[in-house]
Amino acid sequence: MSKFKESYFTMKEDDALEYATFVLNFFSLDAELSCREIGDGNLNYIFRIIDLKSGRSIIIKQAGPYARISDEFKVSPDRNRIESDVLKLQSKLAEGFVPEIYNYDPIMNCCVMEDLSDYVIMRKALIEHKRFPLFAEDITTFMVKTLLLTSDIVMNHKDKKESVKNFINPELCEITEDLVYTEPFYDCDRNDVIDETRKFVQKEIWSDEKFLLETAKLKFEFMTNAQSLLHGDLHTGSIFVKADSTKIIDPEFAFYGPAGYDIGNVIANLIFAYENSEATIEDTTKKKEYKNWLEETIKQVIDLFISKFKFMWKEVVTERTANYKGFDEYYLQNIIKDTAAVTGCELCRRIIGMAHVKDITGIEDINKRARAEKICLSAGKKFIIQRESFKTGADFINVIKEFEKSIN
């Protein structure tokens, strides 16, 4: 089927079916294949192809020629190369936590991977107030392994620099620099703030020069600190869950950046789920129970990260100077500081900026939504300004509780 070997075009369902049949050797010759485009993301086309006879299935993920999020962001299909390279690497470093990659095609800019249709997107499940008791364990194992094992603490420094080079990701980083670190902090046309929150944003965010200065420092930290190979977009929409398993998908934003960026995104998005349940669960007992589980999960993401990181450090450290007395504490404390700061940025940008989260936009009562937004913004600000003071999981959850009390 030479049309797939010639030059890139965006596939329709029929093309994907043809691709699966004639290019891949995954299905048997008598397979009864069915194909559906199931993408709801912004950057890619996702085809699910299933053999109705055997039940075997695959995902073909093809990078669109530009980001579907907006025509203003032009994103080259090379991101698909980064994604499949990262998935292969993460699969080695943290086995079982990412979908398996069967094939990467640099002409069609697509990768073929394990179908995770028996999983659900975590954000959706959290909005339905489901619990995943293994989540904190799983996500911290994934993050400790991927973040520590790709750093100068462990990697040969020359190999690490080649890895930095391989994962330089200008276009996707630009999206984060704009949408997370810049636009939410001024009255930008592309922002999308509801009327009920706007005045609060004008006073507490856009007019606070001291606070803005801190956000600029964080933007430069994001742009210049090549600490670890990040997932780069680790919100609950990039996580597939089922009762006994967690899979992290969509690492197309991956690059070498501050390790706290991934952890902070997880924490902030758990906080959105927490505020969703605060605003939408009517039954007080059920609300209390669900919030308790989320609270425990937030705490554990921080505390388990810290304990696993310390434990693993001792096993894997190769850099001589990293063994100096006190360096592990210093290094880890810096990651927790960055985690707090990024939690704050993500909390602010999902309320103010152009890319929202369902956890908040799904709160139908506009007054409850506005309250949730103000809690997120106030907490976000505190996470950023007081980032040096965060040490444990309890410190993180206490900020949220504080503003739930003071904001009506």
Residues in the interface with a copy of itself (CB under 8 A) total: 40
Question: To the nearest whole angstrom, how small is the minimum distance from the Cβ of residue 343 to a copy of itself?
Answer: 19
Contact, 359 vs 272, CB < 8 A?
Answer: yes
Check binding of 177 to a copy of itself (CB under 8 A).
yes
Please identify, using beta-carbon distances, which residue of 137 and 171 lies nearer to a copy of itself: 171
With contacts defined by CB under 8 A, name the span among 91-99, 191-199, 206-214, 366-374 that binds a copy of itself.
206-214
Question: To the nearest whole angstrom, how small is the minimum distance from the Cβ of residue 139 to a copy of itself?
Answer: 24
Binder among 1, 52, 107, 212 for a copy of itself (CB under 8 A): 212
Check binding of 209 to a copy of itself (CB under 8 A).
yes
Check binding of 223 to a copy of itself (CB under 8 A).
yes
Check binding of 321 to a copy of itself (CB under 8 A).
yes
Contact, 51 vs 32, CB < 8 A?
Answer: yes
Three state DSSP letters for 51-100 = ECCCCCEEEEEEECCCCCCCCCCCCCCCHHHHHHHHHHHHHHHCCCCCCC
- Which 8-state DSSP code applies to residue 120? E
Of 96, 91, 102, 223, the C-alpha closest to 146 is: 91
Check binding of 181 to a copy of itself (CB under 8 A).
yes
- Which 8-state DSSP code applies to residue 235? S
Check binding of 174 to a copy of itself (CB under 8 A).
yes
Question: To the nearest whole angstrom, how small is the minimum distance from the Cβ of residue 317 to a copy of itself?
Answer: 12
183: left (phi over 0), alpha (psi -120 to 50) or beta: alpha
Please identify, using beta-carbon distances, which residue of 135 and 313 lies nearer to a copy of itself: 313
Binder among 145, 219, 337, 349 for a copy of itself (CB under 8 A): 219
Tokens of 87: 């998935």
Tokens of 134: 């293994």
Question: To the nearest whole angstrom, how small is the minimum distance from the Cβ of residue 74 to a copy of itself?
Answer: 10
String of contacts with a copy of itself for each residue 326-365, x by CB under 8 A: xx--xx----------------------------------
Binder among 224, 284, 285, 408 for a copy of itself (CB under 8 A): 224
Binder among 158, 189, 283, 315 for a copy of itself (CB under 8 A): 158
Please identify, using beta-carbon distances, which residue of 115 and 152 lies nearer to a copy of itself: 152
Rounded CA separation 50/117 (Å): 11
Radius of gyration of the chain (CA): 21
Binder among 169, 191, 236, 378 for a copy of itself (CB under 8 A): 169
Paired with 49 in beta bridges are 35, 58
**Contacts for 8-12 with beta carbons within 8 Å, 24 or more apart?**
8/65, 8/77, 8/107, 8/108, 8/109, 9/108, 10/45, 10/62, 10/64, 10/65, 11/45, 11/47, 11/60, 11/62, 11/108, 11/110, 12/37
Contact residues for 189 (Cβ-Cβ < 8 A; gap 6+) = none
Of 305, 374, 272, 16, the C-alpha closest to 146 is: 305
Binder among 182, 300, 361, 386 for a copy of itself (CB under 8 A): 182
String of contacts with a copy of itself for each residue 5-44, x by CB under 8 A: ----------------------------------------
Residue with tokens 């990039």: 238
Please identify, using beta-carbon distances, which residue of 27 and 167 lies nearer to a copy of itself: 167
Binder among 2, 128, 325, 408 for a copy of itself (CB under 8 A): 325
Rounded CA separation 27/51 (Å): 7
DSSP track, 249-317: ---TT--EE-THHHHHHHHHHHHHHHHHHHHH--SHHHHHHHHHHHHHHHHHHHHHHHHHHHHHHHHH-
Question: To the nearest whole angstrom, how small is the minimum distance from the Cβ of residue 166 to a copy of itself?
Answer: 9
Check binding of 227 to a copy of itself (CB under 8 A).
yes
The residues that touch a copy of itself, with contacts defined as CB under 8 A, are: 152, 157-158, 161-162, 164-165, 168-171, 173-174, 177, 181-182, 185-186, 209, 212-213, 215-217, 219-220, 223-227, 320-322, 324-327, 330-331
